[in-house]
Structure 1
Amino acid sequence: MKAKKSILSMALATAVCISSITGCSSDTATRTLASSNAFGNLNLSVQEYQKLYSNSEEKDQFKALTLLARSQIVAGDYAHANESINEMFSKAKNDVQKDQASIVLAMMQSKQGYTDDAIATLKDVNYKALPRQALSYFLILNSNINNLQFQKTKNPENGIYAFKNQATLLKLVDSKNDRKKVIEKSVSILSAIDEKSLASALSRSNNEIDKGFYEYSIISRTSNDELKQNLLNDFAKRYSDHPVTEVVHIEPVDEQDNVKESNSIANVDSKAIFTLPENAKIAVLLPLSGRFAPSVGEPAKLGILTALKDRNIKANVVFYDTNKESISQIVATLKANGTKLILGPILKPEVTALNNTGIKIPSIVFNESETVRPVNQWYFDLGPNYEGSIAASKIFADQKQSAVVISKNNDQNAKRSATAFKHTFAKTKLTSNFCLYNSASNAKKELSNCPLSEVQAVYLNASTNDAVSIKPIIPATAQIYLTDKSYMGLNNSSSEFALKGALLGDMPWLLTDSQLKESFMKSLPKANPQVQKIFAAAYDSVAFAYSIEQLANNSEDVLHGLTGDITLGQDGLIETSPMWVELGKLR
């Protein structure tokens, strides 16, 4: 049975032509459009969508035109996008299509910074008549635009309206991962609204879901821990099935219960802890051939073998090539041969495939699953989201009250990191601003409107060369924070001294020279930061597997790994804290 695609992550199924889309026939265009959604993911270039529109039949032209206009907006080609939108209005055959054209128009207005116009455009849309996917798109867009307006004007009504769109969207999503994103977004939006406005919205609301979100947001601000626990206790009793409980563990506490004094014990489900016997059979699932082998499989294998050698572990380790055998085939073998632990995989689809088998063997993987995670599975987060969250936490810990995030416009990983930074920083009730650049050589002009003189901290998510070019633009009054993207592991290099004074958060093993680091650099001299992360996490996975019981028995205990200080996080996350150093100082 095929897995059902979620609304938020549904990708466009596009036909593949022998050469390129320019060689597709009208029949191919028809088949492509038939399998596409006008408000689904954009998988083609503007030129390809233009050709798709030119080759489309009359019945598919409006859908093709919608995709073309959206791609033009994303590419920043507003002149042609405006022409396409005008054509959408002229070709609209009914009110629903006119509303869809208005949605695309609002998208462009928002991208151009005309949030007032975008809000006015969306107010005239009869969203209740929209098809399901278009409605989902409308709600996300409307929420984002009103949230932007709220950040600009501080008008709480915009923030409340942004939240309400998310709450409505929640009724449309069904996958656990999608629901989690929408709920977390709702909580984040409300966290930035003042308590008085939330209390007013609560008193006016007749919707139990909305009321629960408002109440939780108000309760979460309570500084008195005892009072906060009592309020959460009451909340859990009155809203036992509220969506917020899907992402925040709220359990009512019976006042008659004897609360165990177990502060020294980590708050981890006992079923998540495992013990490895001597000579345990360990299976390692990695792409050891194919295109992901050099950048993913080989550095992970090297990390695991190095860790086993350094720790003198005599486990029976067997490597499985996920490029040659399917996950289900490998799992069938593991269930039968007495495997006690699985290390890997790394690629997200493979992690999801592993969990879809219903595996019961403990595992340590290197990506977050998109489906339900087994209770005895732990994972490293090696993605840019985690990097951005760590930077935000560090800046808040340093008591900086304002921050700007600078990242490259066409770098999707940088955008993900910046978004995670903003989300994490917002939890502190502080706000941050985005500033994007296209070329470091022209950054001074492109960042001229960035409020750098008004902030205390700048998170610069850029390559080493770009960071060196942009640093002189940033006033000395603002502390610069960098993460591993700006550092290739070469201590005291010319680029490091060009970034003198900036704080860098990276893996300890790269920030201090050692025999291990020297050996790695010789084995993989061209390794980028992501490859370095994979090697270090794979190395640490071995130490973690043999230390998990000790970490679970004492919440204050940490494992000093290559990736940083390791602790047991929530929901299976292996938390890693990087080392922060001031560049330009000898180490």
Structure 2
Amino acid sequence: MPSTRVCFQRNWLRAVLLGLLAIGLAGCATVKVTGPSTAGHTYSPAFAQARDLASKESTLPADQRAANARAIDKLLAGLDDATLSADAAALPAGDPLYQYAGHALQRRGLPLPRPFDRGAWRFDAGNRPPAEGDGYRPPVKLAVLLPLSGSLAPAAAPVRDGFLTGYYGESRRRPEITFYDTAMVGAAAAYAKAVAEGNDFVVGPLGREEVSAVFRGAQGTVPMLALNRASVPPPAGNASFSLSPEDDGIAAAEYLRARKAVRVLVITGVDEGLHRAASALRDALAERGGTVVESLDMGGDAASLLARLQASVQKAGQVDAVFLATRASEARTIAPLLASAGLAGKPLVATSALASGTGKPAEDMVLDGIAYPTEPWTVRGVSGLPSAASVASQLKTARGPAARLFAFGYDAWLITAYLEKLALDPNGSVQGATGTLRLDPVGNILHTPTWSTFRGGMQVPLADAAAR
């Protein structure tokens, strides 16, 4: 199978990347670790109940474990920050509830009292040199699996260029990189070839089904950072990073929880991804003690849409906030109708799709006041990476909607270089282009986005919603 060996001599790479400004890696946040568990601690009733459920998890049939996990998450979601932190810190080492409690703390941006159990993680493959003082410890020989040809190549190009921008911006030791074209023989075969050629870490593949296929066969071999969520969890010692629609729904649930909005009306657009975001919001709200009181699908003219919206509001009763899982064009249709339906003054939250406005303030003014998650790089900038406008002026793969995938690729490099820190430091994080990056207990990379809104039809960051 063909592979692309990355080196400075490649003309295309010179044209794409070497013209960029000198780039340094984004720094890692300072961390703070709490003291040891408190002896004689009395757990809160909900936490004690969650602990009992967690202790029985290993004895449950497989088809009952998901429901048990949801029940645990819901109990923990009802605790205030101080109680959750104190109860989690008091858990003894090896307690099965700690993975759940630690994950709940991560979602709230709170510190972990101690690291997760990462016994299956290996960081000495390839005889890596010791980590630098800031946690930098990249692989020795790295494989990147992307569809470099075929129909998915346009989506892969900004991911590749963002990754290489971070890679070449690092002045310290860097791994040898080989790119493998998954469009040629498939992701599973590309992974097998990468393993056979002695790579000690793999980044990719990009497609959901590709990731699932590789995860099912990757156990016990070379660890990887998949660039999508799969239908199965990452095997122990592997990680997964994505900008999935579900992430938008989860981020919106956290945003609303912080504002004590527990009864949410959801309006959903026509895209399948938007329905996935709405479903993720529903599940995340339920875990955090909230609920979707009514759902409305877009469709029809403005008059019929208003009538259905009014009926939904009447049926829902109290509504604390509205979640718009819609395209920007659909949001421009529904936004003027909200006040007429009795929702004036309610917090309005959308997915990252809202960022695709028209670029014309006169038309986008209707979106004023709607909060939506976005990448810090595109609205605030991040340390070590030139501004989005500067990079876009030199690389077409960083312009318009592609900028999000470019930021995603850049962060994939950061995760690769700092994965040991993210895995073993209880509160290790990296300030990336897509947000603050952390690793959850099962190997999923969490990225806390920043939040923006429209003001006078212009996209502006929300001053009180910076990435944690």
The TM-score bracket by the shorter chain reads 0.5 to 0.7
CA contact (8 A) 1:437 1:446 kept: no
Q: Structure 2 counterpart of 1:462, which letter?
A: T
Distance in 2, matches of 1:412 and 1:260, equals 40
1:411 to partner: Cα distance: 2.1
Which of 503, 506, 516 matches 2:374? 506
Match of 1:361, SS state, is coil
Q: 1:550 to 1:414 in 2, by over 3 A?
A: same
CA contact (8 A) 1:491 1:511 kept: no
Which of 396, 414, 430 matches 1:524? 396
1:486 is aligned to 2:329:
no
1:548 to partner: Cα distance: 2.0
Q: Structure 2 counterpart of 1:448, which letter?
A: Q
Distance in 2, matches of 1:510 and 1:448, equals 36
Distance in 1, matches of 2:301 and 2:318, equals 22
How many residue pairs end up in the alignment?
Answer: 356
CA contact (8 A) 1:280 1:315 kept: yes
Q: 1:330 to 1:505 in 2, by over 3 A?
A: closer
Distance in 1, matches of 2:156 and 2:423, equals 30
CA contact (8 A) 2:162 2:407 kept: yes
Distance in 1, matches of 2:47 and 2:262, equals 27
Alignment of 1:172-321 (within 5 A): 223-224=44-45, 227-228=48-49, 231-232=52-53, 235=56, 239-241=59-61, 243-245=63-65, 259=93, 264-274=113-123, 276-277=128-129, 280-294=140-154, 296-312=155-171, 314-321=174-181
Q: Deviations over 1:195-219 (max 9, x none)?
A: xxxxxxxxxxxxxxxxxxxxxxxxx
Match of 1:581 in 2: 452
Alignment of 1:464-479 (within 5 A): 464-474=328-338, 475-479=343-347
CA contact (8 A) 2:298 2:330 kept: no
Q: Deviations over 1:506-554 (max 9, x none)?
A: 111122258341245343379665x444322221111112212222333
Match of 1:544 in 2: 415
Higher relative contact order (CA 8 A, sep 6+): 2
CA contact (8 A) 1:401 1:430 kept: yes
| TM superposition score normalised by structure 2 | 0.67
Where in structure 1 are there 5+ consecutive unaligned residues?
Answer: 1-221, 251-256
CA contact (8 A) 1:285 1:342 kept: yes
Distance in 1, matches of 2:163 and 2:146, equals 11
1:356 to partner: Cα distance: 3.7
CA contact (8 A) 1:440 1:470 kept: no
1:463 to partner: Cα distance: 2.0
Match of 1:365 in 2: 226
Deviates more, 1:573-582 or 1:510-519: 510-519
1:438 to partner: Cα distance: 1.3
Q: By percentage of residues, which structure has more helix?
A: 1
Which of 306, 328, 332 matches 1:444? 306
1:417 is aligned to 2:283:
no
Q: Deviations over 1:47-94 (max 9, x none)?
A: xxxxxxxxxxxxxxxxxxxxxxxxxxxxxxxxxxxxxxxxxxxxxxxx
Match of 1:570, SS state, is coil
1:575 to partner: Cα distance: 0.6
Where in structure 2 are there 5+ consecutive unaligned residues?
Answer: 1-42, 73-90, 99-111, 130-137, 462-468
Match of 1:397 in 2: 258
Deviates more, 1:422-431 or 1:568-577: 422-431
Distance in 2, matches of 1:311 and 1:439, equals 52
Match of 1:384 in 2: 245
1:353 is aligned to 2:213:
yes
| TM superposition score normalised by structure 1 | 0.54
Match of 2:194 in 1: 334
Q: 1:325 to 1:549 in 2, by over 3 A?
A: same
Q: Deviations over 1:305-362 (max 9, x none)?
A: 1111222353211111111133343234322322011111111222123234335111
CA contact (8 A) 1:268 1:552 kept: no
Alignment of 1:552-563 (within 5 A): 552-563=423-434
1:285 to partner: Cα distance: 0.6
Distance in 2, matches of 1:402 and 1:516, equals 38
Percent of paired sites with the same residue: 23
CA contact (8 A) 2:328 2:353 kept: yes
Q: Structure 1 counterpart of 2:229, which letter?
A: E
Match of 2:415, SS state, is helix
1:384 to partner: Cα distance: 1.4
